[in-house]
Amino acid sequence: MSYCLNSACPHPENLTHTELCQACGAKLLLRDRYRVVQALGQGGFGATFLAKDEALPGNPYCVIKQLRPASTSAHVMQMARVLFQREATTLGKVGNHPQVPRLLDYFEANQEFYLVQEYISGSTLQQEVKRSGPFSEAGVKQFLSEVLPMLQYIHSQQVIHRDIKPANLIRRAQDKKLVLIDFGAVKDQVSPARANASENTALTQYAIGTPGYAPPEQMAMRPVYASDIYALGVTCLYLLTSKSPKDMEYDPATGEILWRQYVHVSEHFAEVLQKMLEVSVRHRYQNAAEVLRALDLEPYLDSLARSMVNQPHRSRPAGSTTPDWNSGNRTQGTVPGSIVHSSPSSPSARMAAAIRARQAKSDNSRADLTQIQTGALRRRSPQSIDGLPHSSSGMKKTDDRPATAPRKLNAEELATAYAKGRRDFTSHDLSLLQLPKVDLSGANFHSAKLCKTNLQGANLFNADFGYASLAQAICRNANFARAYLSHADLGGADLRGADLSYAYLSQANLRGANLCGADLTGAKITDEQLATARTNWATIHPSGKRGLW
């Protein structure tokens, strides 16, 4: 089909290869190369179309965005042209990233402006959630590990996206990578309504984005880089719950989304989400790098906290200087029993301060909860729904004893706990267990030990094995599709015939792992990692091709 771009055309649909529109007589081949085949969307700024580039071999698809200023006066047209060229320059700059559509062309024709961009074939995350349901915590972590570096690049180009949401993230069919679309283009730069009201007014008014996803400062026309972090946090909530922000309750006093009742994630990840979703931009993560550091810190929190407990307390003399961890400055005063730090500004000191704040917040919450519990409940150690030790860190704790390592579960206890709804087995020692053909999909085994564990034929779809040890584990024909295995130790593991499609294996140790016959389609893995493992002609590579590496 050939689609007519004349906005006044009564019947824009024409037969394929028609040169002139049968309804209005307009030329159908735009710039003598682009043939529009379908309308994709319509808005106040103009419209978006799917087209074919007939000047290139194979006639590849592309996306054409058309801007139609409401006024055609010389002044408004000149302003629109300047803003159009500025936006095209921005798109050309950020389009160098493989997860951003490339700008292919831009031009003016018949007093209308056109942007031509790369066409991305695939499903949006919104469509994916509607089709397959919410993501697990591991799935959302994998999503963040892929999107945050891309956002870091976009911000490095002095560009704020302003409209991050599930509908603007497409999983590209070709390689299953996420692509961020719709940078607002010219529609964010020109307001047709105001331009129509006065021929002398052409606005550079920025769009406020999508209500619910845009933070307060963006709604007030003052977007910053951290505005995209907030929108990314709301996107995470949608992926975890399949609920849009308008379907969630909020605090009328602060405007904060009351989201915790809808999600079941680890305490650390909940705190990362909380800081991404801070209404106050000052208290929010300021950039993508800060979020990545917070996520990467997770496996070290418990060990660092324990090392702090073991440090001797030494009193300080009166008048000594004590670090003010919140401000980075020093205050004068006597602090009996405080810990002496040789380098208050060191990363370890800042990490320790963050943990103390986290523990203090947790202690205050427990104290408030204790006041409203009955006397009998106060004397009991917290238990999970399955009767096994349960806490946010996976450690057993009573009122009068310090936290200890989680009790080692046997295979039957693990299966029973999972069947009753438990999904968090963080830091547990599950080594040597016999778990063939067990269903543990979506479970959290972050930093867990599964050395020499038998997981042959197990369903581990979308499970979190970040920093876990699966050294010499038997995982033959196991389903690790979309599993999160960042920094996992898979040294010597038997992964013959395993489904590792779209698994996240960044920084995982694969030395000596047997990947003969394994399916690595779309997996996040490097050539260097694969070179350390065993593969054969039956191994399916990330590209989807079969054969030796």
Cα separation of 474 and 124, whole Å? Answer: 36
How many alpha carbons fall within 13 Å on the CB side of residue 202?
Answer: 20
Nearest to 381 by CA among 394, 395, 397, 369: 397
Domain map (residue ranges) of the chain: 2-118, 123-192+204-298, 424-549
E strand intervals along 328-462: 330-332, 396-398, 401-404
Q: What is the pLDDT of residue 297?
A: 59
pLDDT value, residue 203: 36
Token readout for 136 is 């697990």
The CATH classification of domain 424-549, taken from the options 3.40.50.300, 2.160.20.80, 3.20.20.70, 3.30.450.20: 2.160.20.80
| pLDDT at res. 548 | 56
Structure token digits, residue 311: 């440090």
The owner of tokens 């949401």 is 165
Task: State how far the Cα of 222 lies from the Cα of 204, in Å rounded to an integer.
Answer: 13
DSSP β-ladder status, 169-172 and 112-118: unpaired
Q: What are residue 92's DSSP bridge partners?
A: none
Q: What is the pLDDT of residue 324?
A: 36
Q: How far apart are CA 65 and CA 191, in angstroms?
A: 16
Say what the pLDDT of residue 6 is.
Answer: 82
DSSP-based three-state secondary structure for 221: coil
Give Cα separations from 203 to 69, 190, 196, 375, 490 (angstroms).
11, 5, 11, 65, 57
pLDDT at 353: 56
Active site residue 363: no
CB 135 within 8 Å of CB 212: no
Question: Considering only CA atoms, which of 77, 3, 78 is closest in space to residue 35?
Answer: 3
**What is the DSSP code string of 230-263?**
HHHHHHHHHHHHS--GGGS-B-TTT--B--GGG-
**Sheet with 61-67, edge to edge strand ranges:** 29-30, 34-43, 46-53, 61-67, 112-118, 103-109
Cα–Cα distance measured from residue 408 to residue 431, given in angstroms and rounded to the nearest whole number: 9
Nearest-angstrom CA–CA distance, 32 and 147: 37
Written as one letter, the residue type at 141 is: K
How far is 465 from 164, CA to CA, in rounded Å?
28
State the Cα angle at 237 between 235 and 239, rounded to 5°.
Answer: 70
- Say what the pTM is: 0.58
Active-site entry in 32, 53, 105, 163: 163
Angle at 340 between CA 337 and CA 341, to 5 degrees: 145
114 neighbors 53 (Cβ within 8 angstroms): no
**Strand pairing of 321-323 and 178-180?**
unpaired
Residue 381 in contact with residue 398, Cβ under 8 Å? yes
pLDDT in tens, the chain (549 residues): 898 888 788 898 888 888 899 889 888 888 889 999 998 877 545 678 999 999 999 999 999 988 776 666 777 777 767 767 777 777 888 888 889 988 899 888 877 888 899 999 999 999 999 999 999 998 999 899 899 999 999 998 888 888 899 999 999 998 889 999 887 633 333 333 333 433 333 333 444 678 899 999 988 888 899 999 999 999 999 999 999 999 999 888 888 999 999 998 999 999 999 999 999 999 999 999 999 989 875 554 444 444 444 444 333 334 333 333 333 333 333 333 333 333 334 444 455 555 555 555 544 544 444 443 433 333 333 333 344 444 333 333 333 334 456 778 899 999 999 988 888 898 899 999 999 999 999 898 988 999 999 999 999 998 989 899 999 999 999 999 989 998 999 999 999 999 999 899 988 999 999 999 999 998 989 989 999 999 998 899 998 888 654
pLDDT at residue 544, rounded to an integer: 85
Query: CA torsion angle for 162, 502, 137, 279 (degrees, to 10)?
Result: -10
CATH of 2-118, one of 3.40.50.1370, 3.30.530.20, 3.30.200.20, 3.40.50.150: 3.30.200.20
Looking at residue 356, its pLDDT comes to 52
**Domain 123-192+204-298: what homologous superfamily?**
Transferase(Phosphotransferase) domain 1 (1.10.510.10)
